[in-house]
A and B are shown apart, each in its own frame.
Chain A
Amino acid sequence: MSDARNQARAVLEGPDIHRALTRIAHEILERTKGAESVVLLGIPTRGATLARRLAERIAQFEGVKVPVGAIDITMYRDDLRLRPARPLGRTELPAEGVDGRTVVLVDDVLFSGRTVRAALDALNDVGRPRAVQLATLVDRGHRELPIRADYVGKNLPTAKAEKVKVYLQETDGRDAVLLIKEDAR
């Protein structure tokens, strides 16, 4: 662990994350014409935290109360059989539901796109949104599916072997995005 820490470089610090989320909140308001009938759904755990932060900012800027929730995708993953059964995250749908609304999925890191694919399947089972958009704090590239983000905090060029780790105050006690280089032992 400490070895990996030594190889880690902070690419975003607290204030950078703050500014990125502020910009994304503005972009959502702009593109959805004041966040009308928008629902923010975070992918647990850190996506759910980011979704709540975005909702707070949107409320701050324009006084709109956007419904916010979480959608767990574990049961929809395509790699379940590659690892032991994993614990489930929490799905919390806002009372308003998703039918006929614009759902903005929120995740911390966009990588292969497989998580988002699973989220689209999960969403399909809870209702029929009018449109689905995707917001991500970091887009690190290396897509394996035809998926792209509508709102991106930072485009981060990475090597495939590197790891991107997002820390958030609510779950990890601090805000930071780290790029971790694999040890070439």
Chain B
Amino acid sequence: MKRHLISAGDLSRDDALLILDTAEELARVSERSIKKLPTLRGRTVVNLFFEDSTRTRISFEAAAKRLSADVINFSAKGSSVSKGESLKDTALTLEAMGADAVVIRHAASGAPHRLATWVRGSVVNAGDGTHEHPTQALLDAFSMRRRLGRLEGLKVAIVGDVLHSRVARSNVLLLGTLGAEVTLVAPPTLLPVAVETWPCQVSYDLDAVLPKSDVVMMLRVQLERMNAAYFPSAREYSRRYGLDRARFGRLHDDAIVMHPGPMNRGMEISAEVADSPRSTITEQVANGVTVRMAVLYLLLGGSEPAIGTSAADPAVQTVPGGEL
């Protein structure tokens, strides 16, 4: 039984397209005055955030509330976690409260996968360490398809700190599944080990990649993780890998610029480019709610989920999901 969304790589092409098409219909709901649907009435979604995040948590909260689910927000600060409670004990507490879905953000890669073996409800990965952030990749794909009308054959450049980016990994996996051609652009120090095994191209030269790209996705330079001198100076990084007006001019006329946020304006992207009409940055936020509604609906909206992966632990698998 499929019931979790942990990696973008677990989604088949049909799963991914079902999510995008469902989101397309749900986007119409966001345009009307009553934005609420009764679909998940009586279901409980827990937002379990061990790492700071405003936009993703609010986005999931809005998505769940628009589907009439009850939302419980749990952040590590001020909780029993700061008293030393383990992930497992926290999970069992949530289990006892009857969570139908747990949306988890954790600093450790693999935490959602582990959690999935302990709880009965669906687990949705909202970012784990430097591993994955599948709903971000889905909303990026959704935003590209809305702007450019297709994903098949689209040339996407993902630029910047790929090493620490869960967004990059999830996007490479999902866009590969959906038939887009991805090129990662970064200084060699900011590329992960074994990147050559990923289903994408790799380049160190942004200027050579730009003219051929339909989509340029700028990644945030994660200043909080920049303690190992990955590049000589912020200024030099910005010179070689920042998207400024001159580089923006080299893109073809229909190309779009994306950024998962939060931005370091003036570092990886200039304010001018970020605010241009060809930037989808604010659309991405709005689309995030819609896509997360689609994911929650497809996981919780029926007797069993329509998308996602099987639980890792067969003992848990035999327990019907979402039934209380």
- In the complex, the number of residue pairs spanning A and B with C-beta atoms less than 8 Å apart equals 55
Which of A80, A89, A91 counts the most B-chain CB atoms under 10 A from its CB?
A80
As a 0/1 sequence over residues 80 to 105 of chain A, the CB contacts with chain B under 8 angstroms (1 = contact) are 11111111111100000000000000
Question: Would you call B274 an interface residue if the criterion is a C-beta within 8 Å of the partner chain's C-beta atoms?
Answer: no
**A85 close to B302 (CB less than 8 A):** yes
CB neighbours of A121 from chain B (8 A): 38
Number of chain A residues whose Cβ lies closer than 8 Å to a Cβ of chain B:
18
B-side binding surface: helix, strand, loop or mixed?
loop
CB neighbours of B306 from chain A (8 A): 84-87
CB neighbours of A76 from chain B (8 A): 37-39
CB neighbours of A86 from chain B (8 A): 301-302, 306
What distance in Å separates the Cβ of B251 from its nearest Cβ neighbour in chain A?
Answer: 34
Q: A75-B37, A75-B38, A76-B38 are in contact. Are A85 and B25 (CB under 8 A)?
A: no
Question: Would you call A126 an interface residue if the criterion is a C-beta within 8 Å of the partner chain's C-beta atoms?
Answer: yes
Question: Would you call B52 an interface residue if the criterion is a C-beta within 8 Å of the partner chain's C-beta atoms?
Answer: no
Q: A75-B38, A75-B39 are in contact. Are A87 and B21 (CB under 8 A)?
A: yes
Give Cα A88–Cα B34 distance, bound, in whole angstroms.
18
CB neighbours of B10 from chain A (8 A): none
As a 0/1 sequence over residues 2 to 23 of chain B, the CB contacts with chain A under 8 angstroms (1 = contact) are 0000000000000000100110
**B302 close to A88 (CB less than 8 A):** no
Which of chain A's residues 105-133 have a Cβ closer than 8 Å to chain B? 121, 125-126
Number of chain B residues whose Cβ lies closer than 8 Å to a Cβ of chain A:
24
Give Cα A89–Cα B18 distance, bound, in whole angstroms.
12
**A81 close to B21 (CB less than 8 A):** no
**B37 close to A87 (CB less than 8 A):** no
Give Cα A76–Cα B32 distance, bound, in whole angstroms.
16
Give Cα A85–Cα B303 distance, bound, in whole angstroms.
7
Q: Can you list 18 A-B pairs with a CB-CB distance of less than 8 A?
A: A72-B25, A75-B297, A76-B38, A80-B301, A83-B302, A83-B303, A84-B306, A85-B298, A85-B300, A85-B304, A86-B301, A86-B302, A87-B21, A87-B22, A89-B25, A91-B25, A91-B29, A126-B32
> CB within 8 Å of A: which residues of B?
18, 21-22, 25-26, 28-29, 32, 34, 36-39, 67, 297-306
| The 6 A-B residue pairs with the shortest CB-CB distance in the complex, in nearest-first order | A85-B302, A85-B301, A85-B306, A88-B25, A84-B302, A75-B39
> CB within 8 Å of B: which residues of A?
72, 75-76, 80-91, 121, 125-126
